[in-house]
Amino acid sequence: MVGTFQQLFGVEPSGVWRAPGRVNLIGEHLDYNNGLVLPFAIDRSAMVAVRLLAPGEHSQLVSTWIDPTTGRQARAGFDPLNLRPGAVTGWASGPAGVAWALQESTGVQVPGFQMVLDSIVPVGSGLSSSHAVEVSVALALAELTDAPVDRRDLARITQRAENDFVGAPTGIMDQSASLLSTAGHAVLLNCRTLETEHIPLPLDEARLRLLVVDTCVAHSNDDGGYAARRATCEQAAELLGVDTLGDLPLDADLSELPAEILPKARHVLSERARVDAAVEHLRAGRWQELGSELSASHASLRDDYQVSCPELDVAVEAMTQAGALGARMTGAGFGGSAIGLLRESDVTAAQDAVLASFQAAGWDEPRLFTVLPGEGADRLL
């Protein structure tokens, strides 16, 4: 990173920051309903080397990702004095949006900056690759400008960047997982207050693995499906006389809701109950029962919330047939990744089963890898 930065800009960066992607163990589409979610930071991160520029100079951003259309590293630039939603598009809109949101939220003047980005969180995989970039930039800019913010403020600032600058109406889970996770733990996050509790996730000790199947069906949070689910939840809450579905008792009567809304609200309530149960199973080391909650979550996301897709369903089914304790889609859905909780000894069989099912269906080969709960974002240099 530092070498690349020096080569490109002829100076040393002020520092290097790292922020991980995440897997959500359970609690899907609950963050914007003010529920509890249980994600963890994965051992794959985005890294940025950053140096602030003098007032008046334009930002210069380089990504080590090779743009297939040009065959070169992706480059972008913008005028920090003209930052407003819509001013920067494409891959640089996240970093630019963070600079904008930090400035808007704190009043701190964020000057232009030079940046090199490198990431090993697969893009479009539903593992929060864009939030990983935004969080690493947020940490860097906050530190370099001495902005008076803590990690929870940074989670809100990166959400603002994503919602109001990038234009994706996402919740608060992914940024918070990246900023607030600790290694070896899942983070039980209250999405209303951002209070956290770190719950041990001793996969190694239990001889378990979490297998990720990146279906390579590119998913995006700003193409309508995500916003439509969010709007349906808001409508359901309004019809039921509460601010959010997180305010309802778990046994609330949904029968008066219109037929197209009811299953979506039912998912939110049943998923809230599953998070509570999953946390208890995890605390007690009841892995098989935890797995059952994961599988039930997938069924609810597929049938009630309707955010799965054939590739995710097939991945979940193949892992289940190969002995997974539980399997589900993770993240927003509409493509992206599925996870399987597997005994160490079943991982190879599960990988083979997934590959064979995708081949039989005539789909592109998915990317398969295991993940461990890693450390949240930090400064490397």
- Taking the complex as a whole, the smallest distance from the CB of residue 7 to ligand GAF amounts, in Å, to 34
Token pair 């380089």 in the structure block, residue: 62
| Residue 174 in contact with ligand GAF, rule: CB under 6 A | yes
- Taking the complex as a whole, the smallest distance from the CB of residue 230 to ligand GAF amounts, in Å, to 8
Residue 55 in tokens: 């007032």
Q: Are 192 and 32 in contact (CB under 8 A)?
A: no
280 Cβ contact list (under 8 Å, min separation 6): 286
| Residue 171 in contact with ligand GAF, rule: CB under 6 A | yes
| Residue 147 in contact with ligand GAF, rule: CB under 6 A | no
Q: How many CA atoms lie within 13 A of 348 on its CB side?
A: 1
| Residue 170 in contact with ligand GAF, rule: CB under 6 A | yes
Can you tell me which of 17, 23, 26, 29 binds ligand GAF, judged by CB under 6 A? 29
Per-residue binding letters, 269-298, with ligand GAF (x by CB under 6 A)? ------------------------------
Per-residue binding letters, 323-352, with ligand GAF (x by CB under 6 A)? --------xx--------------------
> Is 164 among the catalytic positions?
no
User: In one letter, which amino acid is 255?
Assistant: S
Q: Are 358 and 250 in contact (CB under 8 A)?
A: no
41 Cβ contact list (under 8 Å, min separation 6): 20, 21, 22, 177, 178, 181, 183, 187, 373, 374, 375, 376, 377
- Taking the complex as a whole, the smallest distance from the CB of residue 225 to ligand GAF amounts, in Å, to 11
- Taking the complex as a whole, the smallest distance from the CB of residue 292 to ligand GAF amounts, in Å, to 20
Could you tell me how many residues of this chain bind ligand GAF (CB under 6 A)? 13
Q: Of 98, 137, 95, 116, which is closest to residue 13 (Cα–Cα)?
A: 116
Measured from the CB atom, is 25 or 142 closer to ligand GAF?
25
Q: Give me the catalytic one of 174, 214, 304, 346.
A: 174
| Residue 302 in contact with ligand GAF, rule: CB under 6 A | no
- Taking the complex as a whole, the smallest distance from the CB of residue 22 to ligand GAF amounts, in Å, to 8
Cα 239 from Cα 237, distance rounded (Å): 5
Cα 341 from Cα 327, distance rounded (Å): 6
Cα 370 from Cα 375, distance rounded (Å): 16
Q: List residues with catalytic annotation.
A: 174
The binding site for ligand GAF (CB under 6 A) comprises 24, 28-29, 31-32, 128, 170-171, 173-174, 221, 331-332
